[in-house]
Chain A
Amino acid sequence: DAGVTQSPTHLIKTRGQHVTLRCSPISGHKSVSWYQQVLGQGPQFIFQYYEKEERGRGNFPDRFSARQFPNYSSELNVNALLLGDSALYLCASSLGANEKLFFGSGTQLSVL
């Protein structure tokens, strides 16, 4: 069975640009969460979606947005990129809204 898949694996952008990251959950999982991991820190919660509805949002500016599609895949969008947005962006899926997370390998975003 395929695990959580994320694309792209690596991305280089410049300040002010926009980026879209994509995630496909494990088959049968209805919840997708997004986390940001800065070097030397633990993953930090950005969003959770369950059954296509936003269930939680972390302490991130409105430049960050996300959505979940009818097939439960998800996109994370970041507008007006800043240097500080450089990080590993992790997507995780779970069966339900409050169950253990299964992570993808992440998208490494570098903002120059």
Chain B
Amino acid sequence: DQQVKQNSPSLSVQEGRISILNCDYTNSMFDYFLWYKKYPAEGPTFLISISSIKDKNEDGRFTVFLNKSAKHLSLHIVPSQPGDSAVYFCAASPTSGTYKYIFGTGTRLKVLA
């Protein structure tokens, strides 16, 4: 039972354009969400997070949007750069309990120069 879903396994975007990566979750107890980026042969790197009390969080070129009623979050990268090419994972956690993070299956982003 996949509680966090990334339905697009891959995405290609032209350099300078917007990249939008989507993530859906099923557990209404999740209230803290994170995005991680992973390059080959490296561990995931934290990118940006959002708690359920917000619907938007920005950090430079990266913005995460949260729609609690739809149980959906998205990561926007503007403008996209070739160095953004990586696999992106969303992760979710309740703020209480076992503190484990549930990860999606990832979306491979390719930014074309």
Chain B residue with Cβ nearest A103 = B43
Is A42's CB under 8 angstroms from B43's CB? Answer: no
Across the interface, do A40 and B34 meet the contact criterion of CB distance under 8 Å? no
Is residue A102 within 8 Å, beta carbon to beta carbon, of the partner chain?
yes
Q: How far is the CA of A101 from the CA of B91 in the complex (A)?
A: 11
Q: Are A97 and B99 interface neighbours, CB within 8 A? A: yes
User: Complex Cα distance A3/B64, Å?
Assistant: 25
Question: Would you call the interface of chain B mostly helix, strand, loop, or mixed?
Answer: loop
Contact B45 A42 (CB under 8 A): no
- Residues of chain B contacted by A58 (CB below 8 angstroms): 100
Stretch in B11-19, B70-78, B103-111 with 4+ CB within 8 Å of A:
B103-111
Alpha-carbon distance between A56 and B99 when the two chains are bound, in angstroms: 7
| Chain A proximity of B25: nearest CB distance (Å) | 13
Q: How large is the interface on B (under 10, 10 to 19, 20 to 34, 35 or more residues)?
A: 20 to 34
Q: How far apart sit A73 and B89, CA to CA, in the bound complex (Å)?
A: 26
Nearest-neighbor residue (CB-CB) of A40 within chain B:
B105
Q: Which of B45, B99, B102 contacts A55 (CB 8 A)?
A: B99
Interface residues of A in 95-111 (CB under 8 A from B): 97-98, 100-106
Residue of chain A at shortest CB distance from B98: A56
Cβ-defined contact, B44 with A43, below 8 A: yes
A86 to chain B, nearest CB (A): 16
Known: A40-B105, A100-B49. A106 touches B100 (CB 8 A): no
Chain B residues whose C-beta falls within 8 Å of the C-beta of A97 in the assembled complex: 99
The answer to whether B104 and A42 touch across the interface, beta carbons within 8 angstroms, is yes
9 more A-B residue pairs beyond the given contacts A33-B100, A42-B6, A43-B101, with a C-beta to C-beta distance below 8 A: A35-B103, A42-B4, A42-B89, A42-B105, A50-B99, A57-B98, A98-B95, A101-B34, A103-B44
Residues in A lying within 8 Å of B, measured CB to CB: 4, 31, 33, 35, 40-45, 48, 50, 55-58, 90, 92, 97-98, 100-106
Chain B residues close to A by CB (< 8 Å): 4, 6, 32, 34, 36, 41-46, 49, 89, 91, 93, 95-106
13 A-B residue contacts at CB 8 Å?
A33-B100, A41-B105, A42-B105, A42-B106, A43-B89, A44-B103, A45-B100, A48-B99, A101-B44, A104-B43, A105-B41, A105-B43, A106-B43
